[in-house]
A and B are shown apart, each in its own frame.
Chain A
């Protein structure tokens, strides 16, 4: 083969992708090296890094809870439920404005902090479920057999619809989420220093994830969801009510989003109508990271993304000498999403879905 023939046979797109990969890897390696061995940027001691890691872990727990909704719906319908971030937002907004602020004003919040959290969570979960079931019924169910991008477009529409409905209902201001005083401050567990809320988020999210996994694996309803995910028509022949199973899937995803909404309020102490969009996209990233369609994958992806997002900017970006690295936190998440989708669309641990099915 002559040189010109060889040149012609090269797939230039592969070359470009390789260049892309090499640049990214080089950037990461150089960044870490410069940070750790040459002390670029601010210097952090080991307790700072542990702090970054823990806050990343708790952030990751939130992403994991939201990611479940994406992954379960995708598993059943093969559709990206773009509006899922709004289910999360709706729970946070309604519970804060209607329940939490009232209970905080009456002093109930510090008399019965546990009952307070339970009531707020119930309100958030119910709102999220209601919004999600309405969306499913009106915007998705009639389009089950439509081309794939059609429900994606209605999902985008639903996302804006809910954002602005809640903006209209409760206003566009930032509202404080009341946190019981007992949850403020830090706590020391196993020699590690946690912010109390962060610890709670990590524990609750892990418990919720385990509970959900058991529900899907062990109960009859869970089985019907898995059957519908496998094959809707055969499931229908087996006597499973497909519409009901799909609605249940939406409701469970929304329930997790509602729990995440309260935890989010505890950590960030404020809610606003536009709060659902960015966590939604990041949770989707987490779902894809872990392999969309897989529940343990979504959990793993969530924690992974949270940690990367917390540790990445100070470690890599500051190492590369980028000013204002914390501003670029969102870029790390989106960049990770783009990279994963381009180079490993099946996710870190996800099984490879057949081309047509996925």
Chain B
């Protein structure tokens, strides 16, 4: 009956404790504490502090439904308490080691205040220990509730948390349509009010309960009896509605959010390009930002009205920028595309770094302005109408993304796409069936470069100036993270990935400092847990999980590492 593995409980508890400790001493808890989620009740910092305790309790309780309640609850309590131990020790340490800040810069009095709820250190530490143990207990207790009740509760809680965390989105939308006083009722200066949180939770719970007890069954029945024509008609309706929604989106969102979406769109465009290179053709390119830079610099040089520019019309300059990026991709691609996967990654990284150093150097300063960059980049216009506001650029970027999506989608299902996939799966076999390896890879490289060039051209014009700082390695990593998190090779995955990795940090300004830390964690966790991404392409999902579902023994007994022939990413 008692299936609790106490060693594991201690292990999980301590791991969670270390997570909490690290999040505290690197300053994450304190920075995130400035983001109120539910006014006066919960901040993001506290969520970061408490979530591991809750999760620890939740995970030690296990999946077995027939367990004894008392040991389960005890396990949760223990895991939660252990998760608090390292930070409690930190509080104690900071109490008598007063110069700790000379060594660990983020162990500040404010952090200690957050950790002890503003009390003095002994009672505060005990309170923290109690709260976290309680949360661990709660996490374990959740398993004791029948699943049909548990699931709606968890979903509604999650929804409330997400809603309050991203309260900027509903706030900005509400500001467009409702009066200020009404908006203030739900959204104080930061986060949402307690009353609003309760109402939102209740509404979410009602929907979730309805779905659990009635909605899902009805939906399944509908799915089972639907005719192909009706299904096609439904998907057409969805498409038309979402297109219409995209067209009126700036009106709904307001300027701030439109700008965020435009930023996301720039990355969608780049990620769609890199997705062709990495996802379709299986070539890991870490210097992708080089093409973005070429597109941006060429367009900026041509259109700029400043000292360095030529003052050409944007609509002429943009295609030239794209073509320049494509040519650059081909010139670079020819020598490097014969290399093996991991060497290719490093060479492209090297090229990216060369570009970065060159644009800053005195060598090219007379041409592209060195660190001062290029100012007064030209704006696109139709006759006397000039693109100025974020809203205008939103439509430009939307058009670019639509074009890129269309091209990527058609290529994927066409001859080129099948060739890419063949090359990705096995170069030798692909060559044996008559595929021109270098030509095929070069096509992927060139198209990917073109998309990045387009993104760069629009980016330069939108921002109005082009600086070397905008073309760091970080952009390459950012785009790579987008397609990996979204799902390598999956078009909707790319869009989703861009919203998650670019859009959310734009909304959570507190994230900026820890953005790359979070990207790093995401890259590792995704590779370990869900290598196919959030929204995988159908093919890859089947590939990656075939071994698990069909023949587990075969996967385990596969040959030595270096003899395996597998897709690259």
Seen from chain A, the residues whose Cβ lies within 8 Å of a Cβ on chain B are 13, 16-17, 20, 77-80, 97-98, 101, 138-139, 142-154, 156-165, 167-171, 231-233, 281, 284-285, 288, 322-324, 327-328, 330-331, 334-335, 337-338, 341-342, 345, 356-358
Can you identify 19 A-B contacts, CB atoms within 8 angstroms? A98-B103, A139-B527, A148-B341, A148-B342, A149-B282, A149-B284, A152-B345, A153-B523, A153-B569, A154-B523, A154-B528, A156-B286, A157-B523, A157-B527, A164-B517, A231-B560, A285-B350, A334-B350, A342-B336
- A79 to B345 CA separation, bound complex (whole angstroms): 12
B25 touches A168 (CB 8 A): yes
Contact (Cβ within 8 A) A17 B335: yes
A80 CB contacts on chain B under 8 angstroms: 342, 345-346
Which residue of B has the minimal Cβ distance to A322? B363
Whether A142 pairs with B568 at a CB distance below 8 angstroms is no
Tell me, yes or no, whether B154 is within 8 Å of chain A by CB: no
> Could you tell me the distance in whole angstroms from the C-beta of B14 to the nearest C-beta in chain A?
14
The minimal Cβ–Cβ distance linking A120 to chain B, given in whole angstroms, is 15
Bound CA span A334–B354, Å: 7
Pick the 9 closest A-B CB pairs, nearest first. Answer: A168-B26, A157-B523, A324-B362, A161-B520, A160-B520, A164-B517, A171-B105, A157-B524, A334-B350
**A294 CB → nearest B CB, Å:** 16
Tell me whether A161 and B517 are in contact (CB under 8 A). yes
A-B contacts besides A153-B480, A324-B363, A338-B354, 4 pairs, CB < 8 Å = A152-B284, A165-B26, A171-B105, A323-B363
Contacts of A357 in B (CB 8 A): 562
- Residues on A with beta carbons closer than 8 Å to the beta carbon of B347: 337-338, 341-342
Take A161-B521, A168-B106, A345-B343 as given contacts and tell me if A327 and B527 are in contact as well, using a CB distance cutoff of 8 Å. no
Residues of B within 8 A of A (CB): 22, 25-28, 102-106, 282, 284, 286, 334-336, 338-343, 345-347, 349-351, 353-354, 357-358, 360-363, 365, 438, 477, 480, 484, 514, 516-517, 519-524, 527-528, 531, 558, 560-564, 566-569
The answer to whether B558 and A145 touch across the interface, beta carbons within 8 angstroms, is yes
With A97-B103, A161-B517, A331-B357: A149-B334 Cβ-Cβ less than 8 Å: no
**Whole-angstrom CA separation of A149 from B564 in the bound complex:** 13
**Contact status B103-A165, CB under 8 Å:** no
B480 surroundings in chain A (CB, below 8 A):
153, 156
* Contact status A156-B346, CB under 8 Å: no
Other-chain residue from A97, A138, A328 in contact with B363 (beta carbon distance below 8 A): A328
Task: Say how far A26's CB is from chain B's closest CB, in angstroms.
Answer: 17
Contacts of A151 in B (CB 8 A): 527
Q: Is the CB of B335 within 8 A of A157?
A: no
**Cβ–Cβ contact A145 & B564, under 8 A:** yes
Smallest beta-carbon distance A229→chain B, Å: 11
From A278, which residue of chain B is reached at the shortest CB distance?
B353
**In the complex, chain B residues whose CB is within 8 Å of the CB of A231:** 560
Closest to B565 in A: A356
Closest A residue to B569 by beta carbon equals: A149
Bound-state CA distance A35–B365 (Å) is: 23
Question: Which single member of B27, B341, B523, B561 contacts A168 (CB below 8 Å)?
Answer: B27
Distance in Å: Cβ of B285 to nearest Cβ of chain A: 11
Report A-chain residues with C-beta under 8 Å of the C-beta of B357: 327-328, 330-331, 334
Q: Determine whether the beta carbon of B521 is less than 8 Å from that of A150.
A: no
Name the residue on B nearest A277 (C-beta): B473
Report yes or no: A149 in contact with B339, Cβ–Cβ below 8 A.
no
CB nearest neighbor in A for B522? A157
The residue on B at minimum CB distance from A328 is B361
B343 nearest CB neighbor, chain A only: A341
Contact B339 A345 (CB under 8 A): yes
Residues on the A chain within 8 Å of B522, using CB: 157
Is the Cβ of A157 less than 8 Å from the Cβ of B361?
Answer: no
Residue of A nearest to B361 (CB): A327
CB distance from A50 to the nearest CB of B (A): 27
Tell me which of B104, B282, B354 contacts A170 (CB under 8 A).
B104
| Contact B340–A142 (Cβ < 8 Å) | no
Chain B residues contacting A165 (CB-CB under 8 Å) are 22, 26, 517
Contact call B516/A160, Cβ cutoff below 8 A: yes
A229 to B244, CA, bound (A): 59
Cα A330 to Cα B527 in complex, Å, equals 31
Query: A334 near B353 (CB under 8 angstroms)?
Result: yes
The answer, among B28, B358, B524, for a CB contact under 8 Å with A138, is B524
Contact B568 A160 (CB under 8 A): no
- Residues in B with CB closer than 8 Å to A139 are 524, 527-528
- A150, B351: Cβ atoms closer than 8 Å: no
B99's nearest neighbour on chain A, judged by CB, is A102
Least CB distance, B157 to chain A, in whole angstroms: 29
> Are the C-beta atoms of B103 and A152 separated by less than 8 Å?
no
Q: Which of B284, B341, B516, B562 contacts A164 (CB 8 A)?
A: B516
